[in-house]
Structure 1
Amino acid sequence: MSDSINDTPRSGRLHIGIYGRRNAGKSSLINAITGHETAIVSETAGTTTDPVYKSMEIHGLGPCVLIDTAGFDDVGPMGELRVEKTRLALEKTDMALLVVTDGDDLSVEKKWAASLKARKTPFIVVLNKMDEHSEAELESLSSRIADELGKKPVVVSAKEGTNMPVLRETMLRLVPADWGTMKLTGDLCGEGDVVMLVMPQDIQAPQGRLILPQVQVTRELLDKKCIIASCTADKIAQTLSALSQPPHLIITDSQVFAEVWKLKPAESLLTSFSILMAGYKGDINEFLKGAEAIDRLTPHSKVLIAEACTHVPLAEDIGREKIPRRLRARFGETLEIKVVSGTDFPTDLTPYDLIIHCGACMFNRTYMMSRVQKAREQGVPLCNYGVALAKLTGILDKVVHA
């Protein structure tokens, strides 16, 4: 489901994953938290199959995405596939609720708790169905769960809506301290600064709209009370001449780095939407380091290009056409390039000499950072579109980043 024009983009929302066994009451818990019939509830085990992502506004937490997942104890060939989808949802989770209903066998829960701890994902253990236990039983269960999972559970009844305020308050305390404070443009500009945006409106641009990074940057600059001048690539010189002074900062589409660099006033800083997204959604230092691998490529190297979007590629697509063309022009037609999109990201990255990722505007930061971590652990250099294009243009050391 796409967000409407008035909504916070899904990629900018806090992703809250709900995990537990089949029939632990995960879907009922989502409904109790939101106060709406958000998720389908059934007594039949395994009603939830693929993870369901639901954008919501939760008082105190703000714009969120609730991830309703299949039971991690699912069985059979299809069950294994559903568990794998649930495991992949962990990569997008900013905060998790681990739902349990008893303390008889917590071996599976212990494994999932260990995964969350390894990812440094904050999580809450939720003991559900308190309405089915006596006070003494709940005390014993809570103690046993705390011993096994290392966390004292929040005791609730999703069915009755009991203790929901306590759970919401606990969730609020668990929100990462820096959540929502990151800025795309960082300290690159401030109030009163003139910022020029170069935004080609080619076949790749959605009809009648701007792409998400352009929208987000524009909104942030307005919030900062910057003065914005926007133009397409063919109007750069005309826009510069119309300004009474050189812009403090120029933010361009990475595809026209070379054209902008030729016309840029010496005193103006230069960056790209993609480079800003690299720092906002990923690890800019890792990407800058990864760009060094471009110099080590050979005609026999293998490059992975990863897109977050699953759009139908059009002519002159940046990831499928322009970057491969630039790479092959430098290293030869035998250079092997594979393109993947959406969540289709290889588990084994070691066959590749370099990964070039898009700006990840459609991913939340947690998911993008999980990919950064995978590449780092497997020793494969990773950079993004903007960084790679600046490197190939020969100006990477001259552009700025937040």
Structure 2
Amino acid sequence: MCSAEMQPAPRSIRLHIGLFGRRNVGKSSLLNALTRQQVSIVSPEAGTTTDPVEKPMELLPLGPVLFVDTAGLDDEGALGAARMSRSRAVLDRVDLGILVAESGVWGPFEAGLLAELSARRIPTVVALNKSDLASPRDLPATVLQNMDGTPVIAVSALHGQGIDRLREALLRAAPEGHFDSRHLISDLVPPGEVAVLVMPIDSSAPKGRLILPQVMAVRDVLDGAGLALVVQARELPQALSALKGNPALVVTDSQAFQSVARDVPDAVPMTSFSILMSRFQGDLAAQVRGTLAIENLRGGDRVLVAEGCTHHPTEEDIGRVKLPRWLNEKVGAPLHFDTIQGRDFPSDLSPYKLVVHCGNCMGNRREMLSRIHRCEAAGVPITNYGLAIAYSFGIFDRALRPFPEVEGFLHACRA
């Protein structure tokens, strides 16, 4: 009898929970206790954790979560500053925070960190670790009163005390409706209607697998009781003619936008996986507004291309080859492109006239919203792959037609 492992939930839709605090307060030990696994290396030596450590798991009844253990935010020296920089970057993408402090110890550092989490609107639970050595009652009453409703749980990671209460506090503090409030595509395809998903299989596609946004789209159509018809671009005309009526929506890989736009009747709504991800993971309206800035680009302007994943570039790589070529053709002069991957994102965006971001299927929504906010604060427009490609090909308005909520916004931006 064959057995098959269930595909784990993508990291992009997991609730991200970060552990923050000083060095040697027991963050890694607490993560190991929460996950019941030896995820992080622990040691009496301060500064054992040097880079953020991630552990995906199911935290019932909440569902799929991603714990992120960080280095101490009170590190010292040049190397310590680098470690703290990586840990502080985690603040941009967590949905829920655990502030770990030693039981009986609370000072300006902890108060400042709690204030920063609060300013970022990150729900937080305070875990007073090492409660077997000191009691939270040893904290001054004014400290506990100034927690401002933040849950405070006494725990001992070493002995497993209070871990269940901490889990319950995390469940109560989690953002309401985190897993129920967003749809990738199912709200655009009524039950019983057909979504045609155009998935070119090219040299950059992982062998034997589909890319994550495609898998997410198929699953979301099925969850919404719709019908998913999956084809490659060359089979699209045959697939459309075989249907008894028009599909509710055609979604294509952005690289095939031109040919798909020619093959799909104008009356049929059409967009791309990347644009769906802009709506799902970030702020579609903000990235639509950023796309219009392409019109103002001039030869020699610097453009930042940001890829959330760390795939190996291919000969016809979308972010390094195709997208720059299409934007150069649209502008009519060569632009200067810088490319970054993964968690890297520059603190100084002033050199750039535009940021073009991928769909961020390997990140999460808070991280994407943080990057959009940083671009807007710096006065640098930000768009995404699908939007930029549609604009370059002259099919921008058509690619946005499935989203009536941005049509009025787009008109106002152009007015």
What TM-score range do you get, normalising by the shorter chain? over 0.9
Contact preservation (8 Å) 1:16, 1:64: yes
The residue that corresponds to 1:107 in the other structure is 108
Contact preservation (8 Å) 1:18, 1:26: yes
1:254 Cα shift? 1.0
Distance 1:143 1:58 in 2: 32
The residue that corresponds to 1:167 in the other structure is 166
User: Which of 159-168 and 98-107 deviates more?
Assistant: 98-107
Amino acid at match of 1:171: L
Task: Report the identity percentage.
Answer: 44
User: Which of 144-153 and 268-277 deviates more?
Assistant: 144-153
1:147 Cα shift? 4.5
Distance 2:311 2:329 in 1: 26
Matched, 1:93 2:94: yes
What are the equivalent positions in structure 2 for 1:351-370 lying under 5 Å apart? 351-370=351-370
The residue that corresponds to 1:395 in the other structure is 395
Distance 2:151 2:327 in 1: 54
Distance 2:53 2:60 in 1: 21
Distance 1:154 1:201 in 2: 51
The residue that corresponds to 1:255 in the other structure is 255
Matched, 1:72 2:70: no
- Deviation digits for residues 193-222 of structure 1, max 9, x if unmatched? 111111110111111111000000001111
**3-state SS in 2 of match to 1:30:** helix
Contact preservation (8 Å) 1:127, 1:142: no
Distance 1:16 1:275 in 2: 27
Distance 1:36 1:324 in 2: 45
What are the equivalent positions in structure 2 for 1:269-308 lying under 5 Å apart? 269-308=269-308
Distance 1:186 1:118 in 2: 34
Distance 1:133 1:339 in 2: 50
User: Which of 81-90 and 325-334 deviates more?
Assistant: 325-334
**3-state SS in 2 of match to 1:187:** helix
The residue that corresponds to 1:143 in the other structure is 141
The residue that corresponds to 1:63 in the other structure is 64
The residue that corresponds to 1:203 in the other structure is 203
Distance 1:62 1:11 in 2: 13
What are the equivalent positions in structure 2 for 1:116-131 lying under 5 Å apart? 116-131=117-132
Aligned Cα RMSD in Å?
Answer: 1.7
Return closer, same or farther for 1:401/1:341 CA change in 2, 3 Å cut-off: farther
Contact preservation (8 Å) 2:17, 2:95: yes
Contact preservation (8 Å) 1:199, 1:230: yes
- Deviation digits for residues 358-378 of structure 1, max 9, x if unmatched? 111111111111111110111
What TM-score results when the alignment is normalised by the length of structure 2? 0.91
1:145 Cα shift? 3.3
Distance 2:224 2:334 in 1: 47
Structure 1, unpaired ranges of 5+:
none
1:157 Cα shift? 1.7
Give aligned pairs, total.
396
What TM-score results when the alignment is normalised by the length of structure 1? 0.94
**3-state SS in 2 of match to 1:196:** strand
**3-state SS in 1 of match to 2:188:** coil
Distance 1:56 1:337 in 2: 38
**3-state SS in 2 of match to 1:127:** strand
Contact preservation (8 Å) 1:103, 1:145: no
The residue that corresponds to 1:157 in the other structure is 156
1:69 Cα shift? 1.0
Return closer, same or farther for 1:130/1:102 CA change in 2, 3 Å cut-off: closer
1:346 Cα shift? 1.0
Return closer, same or farther for 1:158/1:166 CA change in 2, 3 Å cut-off: same
Distance 1:5 1:362 in 2: 19
The residue that corresponds to 2:407 in the other structure is none
- Deviation digits for residues 1-35 of structure 1, max 9, x if unmatched? xxx86211222211111111111111121122223
**3-state SS in 2 of match to 1:320:** helix
Distance 1:119 1:105 in 2: 21
**3-state SS in 2 of match to 1:303:** strand
Amino acid at match of 1:273: F
**3-state SS in 1 of match to 2:51:** coil
**3-state SS in 2 of match to 1:229:** strand
What are the equivalent positions in structure 2 for 1:13-32 lying under 5 Å apart? 13-32=14-33
**3-state SS in 2 of match to 1:91:** coil
Distance 1:53 1:152 in 2: 24
